């Protein structure tokens, strides 16, 4: 079931078209990657989702109904630009923000104590925000984003400022929130994180949606018929002629085997590749190498840019 339905959203600022007829859906309980290069329109879309601004055209449905101000009570938003007051004490500010989310003083204190202990920052309660590192401030702001158990979390570059240990801690917490049934929108340039935790993605470039789908389905859609095969007991490899349907990309020597990175012509089955190597030695492992989300991101954005330039030239001609 869909928690959010973004329907034909268009937003124009002066002479800049930020979003152009963008539509997609986000399923309940999923981690959804909102991707795109700088200036693509992601921040504008997030601002529309949080009703900071309104679309010129289109509609957003939340649980099947038009998104309203009341729905913001069920949304937690962690912006890329952090908004903590540097001169306030950490605990005082956390309490203030928690109560803004509708929690009583007693309930806010109870939940904050739990989260501060869980994130191992209980010793910072009486310290000023300005005394905290960027990563520590990030922990505090993340806590105040989820303190009211929102149905939807919108996280804009949540791993910024974190060292690997704390980034992993946050990643585990995001996955825990998903297990609880929370729907999460993750906007980030960190494609490794997208690949690791996202279920579905949409890619926006120059105000338009250019790609969407399930992570696994997207990676399979753009696979290049590339394989890795490890073979042992193979002698005089360099004297063997490769058939013309196999291109050797690289090979790695091991004490008793070799790993071959192979490009296979698209009209040739992997069975033919296996048959060829089975005649040369014993196969230890065989796998298809799917493109990374980083590779797909670069390829699709570059292709989209080139298509736009060609279209512009043809119009001018």
53 within domain boundaries: yes
Burial class (CB in 10 A: 0-12, 13-18, 19+), 120: exposed
State the CATH number of the domain containing residue 36. Answer: 3.40.50.300
Do 121 and 247 lie in one domain? The reply is no
Residue 46: predicted pLDDT: 96
Looking at the fold, whether 158 and 246 belong to one and the same domain comes out as no
Structure tokens of 166? Answer: 């704390």
215 and 86 both lie in a single domain: yes
Indicate the burial class of 194 (C-beta count within 10 angstroms; 0-12, 13-18, 19 or more). buried
pLDDT at 87: 87
User: Is 29 in the same domain as 132?
Assistant: yes
Same domain, 275 and 207: no
Look at residue 21 in the predicted model and tell me its pLDDT. 96
206 and 79 both lie in a single domain: yes
- CA Rg, the chain, in Å? 25
Of 193, 220, 247, which closes a domain? Answer: 220
- What b/e readout covers 136-160, taking b as 16+ CB neighbours within 10 angstroms? bbbbbbbbbbbbbebbbbbbbbbbe
Q: Are residues 26 and 88 located together in one domain of the fold?
A: yes
In the chain, the number of structural domains is 2
Q: Are residues 239 and 195 in the same domain?
A: no
Q: How far apart are CA 104 and CA 124, in angstroms?
A: 22
Same domain flag for 46 and 166: yes
Are 152 and 278 members of one domain?
Answer: no
CA distance 33 to 40: 14
Give me the domain span that covers residue 253: 224-288
Q: In this structure, is residue 312 part of a structural domain? A: no
Residues 49, 115, single domain; the answer is yes
Instruction: Tell me the C-alpha distance between 307 and 32, whole Å.
Output: 27
Q: Could you tell me if residue 304 is inside a domain?
A: no
Q: Spell out the SS3 assignment of the chain.
A: CEEEEEEEEEEEECCEEEEEEEEEEEECCCEEEEECCCCCCHHHHHHHHCCCCCCCEEEEEECCEECCHHHHHHEEEECCCCCCCCCCEHHHHHHHHHHHCCCCHHHHHHHHHHHHHHCCCHHHCCCEHHHCCHHHHHHHHHHHHHCCCCCEEEEECCCCCCCHHHHHHHHHHHHHHHHCCCEEEEECCCHHHHHHHCCEEEEEECCEEEEEEEHHHHHHHCCCCEEEEEEECCCCHHHCCCCCCEEEEEEEECCCEEEEEEEECCCCCHHHHHHHHHCCCEEEEEEECCCCHHHHHHHHHHHHHHHHHHHHHHHHC
Task: Flag residues of the chain having pLDDT under 50.
Answer: none
pLDDT digits (tens, 9 = 90+) for 106-164: 999 999 999 999 998 889 999 998 898 888 888 999 999 999 999 999 999 998 878 88
| Whole-number pLDDT of residue 257 | 85
Domain match, 156 and 214 both? yes
């Amino acid at each position: 079931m869909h928690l959010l339905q973004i329907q034909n959203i268009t937003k124009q600022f002066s002479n800049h078209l930020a979003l152009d007829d963008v539509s997609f859906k986000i399923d309940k309980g999923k981690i959804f990657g909102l991707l795109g290069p700088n200036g693509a329109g992601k921040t504008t879309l997030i601002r529309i989702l949080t009703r900071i601004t309104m679309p010129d055209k289109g509609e957003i449905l939340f649980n099947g109904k038009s998104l309203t101000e009341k729905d913001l009570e069920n949304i937690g938003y962690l912006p890329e630009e952090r908004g903590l007051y540097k001169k306030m004490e950490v605990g005082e500010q956390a309490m203030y923000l928690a109560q803004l989310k509708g929690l009583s003083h007693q309930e806010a204190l109870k939940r904050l104590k739990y989260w501060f202990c869980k994130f191992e920052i209980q010793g910072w309660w009486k310290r000023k925000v300005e005394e905290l590192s960027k990563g520590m401030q990030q922990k505090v702001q993340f806590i105040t984003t989820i303190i009211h158990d929102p149905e939807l979390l919108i996280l804009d570059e949540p791993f910024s400022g974190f060292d690997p240990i704390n980034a992993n801690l946050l990643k585990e917490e995001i996955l825990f929130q998903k297990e609880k049934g929370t729907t999460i929108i993750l906007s980030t340039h960190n494609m490794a994180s997208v690949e690791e935790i996202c279920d579905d993605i949409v890619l926006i470039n120059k105000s338009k949606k250019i790609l969407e789908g399930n992570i696994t389905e997207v990676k399979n859609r753009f696979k290049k018929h590339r394989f890795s095969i490890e073979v042992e007991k193979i002698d005089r490899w360099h004297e063997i002629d490769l058939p013309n349907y196999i291109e050797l990309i690289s090979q790695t020597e091991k004490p008793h085997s070799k790993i071959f990175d192979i490009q296979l012509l698209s009209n040739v089955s992997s069975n033919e590749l296996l048959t060829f190597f089975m005649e040369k030695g014993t196969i230890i492992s065989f796998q298809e190498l799917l493109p990374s989300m980083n590779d797909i991101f670069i390829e699709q954005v570059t292709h989209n840019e080139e298509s736009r330039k060609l279209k512009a030239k043809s119009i001018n001609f």
